[in-house]
Amino acid sequence: QVQLVESGGGSVQPGGSLRLSCAGSGSTYSISCMGWFRQAPGKEREGVASIDIRRVGNTRYVDSVKGRFTISQDNAKNTVYLQMNSLKPEDTAMYYCAQGRWVGLPRCVDNSWGQGTQVTVSS
């Protein structure tokens, strides 16, 4: 049974930064992808960034965060990070960590999920 625990959310002003962390525990035998999704009120959950944990540097981002967000991993700790810079009000959402299968898109599929961490960008 995979468990994912997110941390690092909070409130920040536009232009600010936050770093999200997701620590995984349990079996990772069939896992090839870790990533971040977000869901704003009234909107569908969208994939934000993903990383192929088998290949260093193999990442994908949704267009709206390219150049501002960076996903990285620490395989020894089974942890994935999302560094978010130049945050905008439209980045406000609940952010969810996911662990699943790599398909080369800014989202993993066949996911296990964390409980979510709130990110609010407001002046």
pLDDT tens sequence across 48-101: 999 999 998 899 999 999 999 999 999 888 899 999 999 999 999 999 999 999
Tokens of 70: 């960076």
pLDDT at 70: 98
